[in-house]
Structure 1
Amino acid sequence: MKPLLLIEDTASLQMVYESVLRGAGHEVVSASTAAEGAALFQKHAPDVVLLDLMLPDRSGQELMRDLLEIKPDTNVIVVTANGSINRAVEAMRAGAYEFLLKPFNEQRFLNAVENALDDGNRSKPTTSPGTAPGAFGTFVGSSPLMQQVYARIRSVGRSMATVFITGESGTGKEICAQAVHEKSNRANGPFVPLNCGAIPSDLLESEVFGHLKGSFTGAIADKPGAAAVADGGTLFLDEICEMDLNLQTKLLRFLQTSMIQPVGAPTPRKVNVRIICATNRDPMEEVRRGRFREDLYYRLHVVPIHLPPLRDRGHDVIEIAEASIARFANDEGRAFTGLDEATKQLFQQLEWPGNVRQLLNVLRHAIVLHDGPLVTQDMLPLDLRHETEALSHAPTAPMVGAPPRVALDGLLGKTLAEIEQLVIEETIQRHGGSVPRAARVLDVSPSTIYRKRESWAKKP
């Protein structure tokens, strides 16, 4: 068995780490400088390296890049002081397997090492013979952009690092989070998704951390929060940028301590949860606008995964469509087998603003209302057929200097408050009754819309 390589310049800490590792049955070789570490790495070719980022002769991050260039499948666990979390985040993005912030306890240290040792297949593809090159969990698509996503999921799966998923609405962020969970050593534990944008802010704390009976009006029984339910598994916080600022503070404390305190509980308790979060917004822009805490952003944005929009994925749209047609046809008892050539060409030309979710809705519509064997353009929903007609006509150039026309019929004569209510309700209706989607279009928090609708309902 290959020894672990420990590179730590503080002699007392080096002795403590060696003692803990050897007590757990691991063989260890140690170095105090980057140069010594590089020499031992060449000699032993270890599978796991424990690396302090602050070394006397060279940056630990630069050393890590050199080690990974020599042996890319090495699992590097970086160690740094609590005040240097930005360095740890940068190291994760550069290929580190895991990071430990000093001070950490013995069990956390050993868990990180065991996870790194167990992950012997980190860089190997997970598809079996006969599987499509792009098949990965429930994802479908073999485009280069998605192959990069699959590789990132494989590499981060067994780490405890927080994953931050970004991408437009409908690109499959929850599917991505589920895939990370299934590639982790927590796969047998619970996967608990929570949509932060779909829950009013005054209820969100209870949903995340739980509450005790009688802790507030309506609390008729004890309720475990999502964080407690996810103990031993993964908590997926979707639409994280919708979270109220006060709750962001409590989430940051939870990430730092792993302690939860249900509403009304006298004392906190510890849980073992991995956090994955997602948003369809630009998180740094939310930080700049003061809607998302900067310290929470850096705590969460350790390993980013960006899901590309469907319009940038080339032939993936056809792969997804044909795989979905087979499933829907089976569900609905229809004889569909695929798309005709004209529809294939059209699907690759469309913008798909709703991404994969929109594509699936279009196909479900066609299969429910028609029968096969092929999906043709005349089976598509009316709004998509209008878009088809627009693509077939060359665009006309707008008049230079002409201002955009805005239809004001029905608004003139109303108060500003009445106009606001009309616009909000119409936006919600046009987005299938979804308050979070309407809120994104209107660039407000869903909780703002919930409060306004509640106040309108109270009016006589």
Structure 2
Amino acid sequence: MTTTTLSDQEQILIVDDDPSLLRLLGIRLAAAGYQVSSAENAKQALGMLKSLQPQLVISDLRMDGMDGMALFEKIRLSYPNLPVIIMTAHGTIPDAINATKQGVFSFLTKPFESQELLDTVEQAIRLQPHTHLSQHQTGNEQWRESIISRSAIMSALLQQAKQVAKSDFSLLIQSQSGTGKELLAKAIHQASDRCDKPFTAINCAAIPEQLLESELFGHKKGAFTGAEKNHIGLFEATNGGTLFLDEVGDMPMSFQVKLLRALQEKEIRPLGSTDSVKVDVRIISATHQNLQKAIVNQTFREDLYYRLNVVELELPPLADRREDIPLLAQHFLAQSKKQSNHQVKGFSKEAMELLISAPWPGNIRQLQNIVEQSIALSSESMISEAQIRNALRDKTAQLPSFQEARDHFERDYLAKLLNITAGNVSQAAKIAQRNRTEFYKLLNKHHLNAEAFREEKAD
């Protein structure tokens, strides 16, 4: 066994029973900046995997004892995300097809050019997740085990998140929809001193205004029609823990002042009660909206903004952390295997390249949908580029979030009212069964100008 250490980056394990070829391949790869280890047979290679944790295995197909495909099968059982390149001097088209169908990353026929080898190695490492980075979340890293990433931008964010987790400061997570805001909030809770207490999440945009106060503060029996028994609100139920307010930017203005008071006084008053209840809750909130712009538009209270935004964390969109796409895609593939009996083993090189280069307006949520749809419709062992391309074109694979769909409906509804009434706000508000002040706030929220509809009607 030999090892050449010229890089702290990618580790490659070469397996071949020909010592001269092992030496030649080691020289070529080390010269390209890789850290190279070698094994003279498959059994020796399997013994090295656990301690070596390579990012790639290159193996000869024909070897004494266990051959390259048998080695690949063993590797796949313990390290399903680890890419394997098979070399052979006896390469045939059926061999190559069979190997790639079973999940081998690539198939090189000897003799091959140095550049062909280096291009294939570079693709394998770039397109596949680094197994050891995603598997060994132990010790003091368990708090973030649900966050799958190897990108530098996420590493910096998680370091900052861990640092502020130990405090009781309120946090605001700013990001696009579908980026995993709740996962980050849960990770922060796990890293905090409140980790043994409840973590509770609520989507402020998904609950009607009249129910939001009851959900958060609770109510007494008879407080309103339908209140048939006492109800403990989430503040009280989460006492000692962390309360995650998702899409806080969509919280009704009328309730914002009540939330501000609860945060300032550290107490809540259930609906229908005359008594206040002391609560000890750490608040993490999140939004895809620009709250500073919302303050200017008078749809979000400035005093509440500063109460929630003691520390702000910006969660990057998937397009800014593309190196995480292979990790995430393999994770969703593994998840689907647990939920069904499908035989899909991986992604073709072309499919993974397409996943990495796609725009991802729906971020991680959209990526998960694309992967799951491709798996469900796949009849082969490897997901192809064509399947990914079809899924990306399929509008059902890019379903908007509930909030996005509601905003779209709300804007269309308001525009239709203004068009019907020729921009008469009083008449439109009456049809919508809203007072003029509230109706104007809705128009401002969606940047609709009633005057423009009067002009259109006049034309």
TM-score class normalised by the smaller sequence: 0.5 to 0.7
Aligned to 2:261: 253
Q: Deviations over 1:6-51 (max 9, x none)?
A: xxxxxxxxxxxxxxxxxxxxxxxxxxxxxxxxxxxxxxxxxxxxxx
Kindly provide the amino acid, as one letter, of the partner of residue 376 in structure 1.
S
Match of 2:232 in 1: 224
Partner SS, residue 204 of structure 1: helix
The answer to whether the 8 A contact 1:200-1:446 is kept is no
Match of 2:327 among 316, 319, 325: 319
User: What residue identity is the alignment partner of 1:194?
Assistant: I
- Report the secondary structure of 1:236's partner residue: strand
Structure 2 equivalent of residue 240 of structure 1: 248
Quote the Cα distance in structure 1 between the aligned partners of 2:296 and 2:251: 16
Deviations for 1:118-158, whole angstroms, at most 9, x for unmatched residues?
Answer: xxxxxxxxx899459x9932111111111112101210111
Cα distance in 2 between the residues matched to 1:236 and 1:446: 30
Per the TM alignment, residue 444 of structure 1 is displaced from its structure 2 partner at its CA by 5.7
Q: Give runs of aligned pairs for residues 402-421 of structure 1, distance below 5 A.
A: none
Could you tell me how far apart the structure 1 residues matched to 2:259 and 2:339 are? 41
Match status 1:436 vs 2:444: no
Give the letter for the 1:181 counterpart.
H
- How big is the shift at 1:432? 5.1
List alignment gaps of at least 5 residues for structure 1: 1-126, 388-428
1:198–1:446 contact (8 Å) kept in structure 2? no
1:139: which partner in 2?
Answer: 147
Question: How many Å apart are 1:330 and its aligned residue?
Answer: 2.6
TM-aligned CA deviation for residue 326 of structure 1:
1.6
Give the equivalent residue in structure 2 for 1:365: 373
Distance apart, 1:379 and its partner CA: 2.5
1:295 aligned residue (303, 313, 316): 303
The structural deviation recorded for 1:443 is 7.5
Asked if 1:204 corresponds to 2:212, the answer is yes
- Say what the alpha-carbon RMSD is for the aligned residues: 3.3
- For 1:361 and 1:224, locate their aligned partners in 2 and report how far apart those are by CA, in whole Å: 35
Q: What secondary structure does 2:322 align onto? A: coil
Name the aligned partner's letter for residue 404 of structure 2.
R
Query: Distance in 2 between the 1:446 and 1:188 partners?
Result: 45
1:376 and 2:390 aligned: no
8 Å CA contact retained: 1:431, 1:437: no
Instruction: Tell which structure's C-alpha radius of gyration is larger.
Output: 2
Counterparts of 1:430 and 1:439, CA distance in 2: 18
SS at match of 1:139: coil
CA deviation vs aligned residue, 1:312-345 (integer Å, no higher than 9, x gap)? 1121111110122122123212222321111111
Say if 1:302 and 1:342 are closer, same or farther in 2 by CA, change over 3 A. Answer: same
Q: Find out whether 1:153 has 2:120 as its counterpart.
A: no
**1:245-285 C-alpha deviation (Å, 9 max, x unpaired):** 12110111111111100000111010111100000111111
CA distance in 2, matches of 1:244, 1:162: 20
Structure with higher helix content: 2
Q: Percent identity?
A: 36
Aligned residues between the structures: 286
Aligned partner of 1:228: which letter? E
Q: CA deviation at 1:369?
A: 2.5
C-alpha distance in 2 between matches for 1:195 and 1:323: 26
Please list, as runs of the form range in 1=range in 2, the aligned pairs for 1:97-176 lying within 5 A after superposition: 130-131=136-137, 136-176=144-184
SS at match of 1:315: helix
2:391·2:397 contact (CA, 8 Å) conserved in 1?
no
Q: Secondary structure at the match of 1:276?
A: strand
Q: Secondary structure at the match of 2:154?
A: helix
Deviant stretches of 4+, over 3 Å:
127-132, 380-383, 429-435, 439-449
Determine if contact 1:321/1:360 at 8 Å carries over to the other structure: yes
Counterpart contact for 1:431–1:438, Cα < 8 Å = no
Per the TM alignment, residue 311 of structure 1 is displaced from its structure 2 partner at its CA by 0.8
Aligned CA distance change for structure 1 residues 286 and 300 (closer, same or farther; 3 Å): same
- Following superposition, the deviation at residue 186 of structure 1 comes to 0.8
For the Cα contact (< 8 Å) 1:242–1:446, is it kept in 2? no
**TM-score normalised by L of structure 1:** 0.57
Aligned partner of 2:189 in structure 1 is 181
Query: Which ranges in structure 2 are unaligned for 5 or more consecutive residues?
Result: 1-132, 417-427, 434-459
Which amino acid letter does the alignment assign opposite residue 179 of structure 1?
A
Q: Cα 1:166–1:358, aligned 2, differ >3 Å: closer, same or farther? A: same
| 1:242–1:445 CA contact under 8 A, matched in 2 | no
Match of 1:7? none
- The whole-number CA distance in structure 2 between the counterparts of 1:159 and 1:282 is 25
* Deviation for aligned residue 1:348: 1.5
Q: Structure 1 residues 239 and 386, CA, compared in 2 at 3 Å: closer, same or farther?
A: closer
CA contact (8 A) 1:326 1:338 kept: no
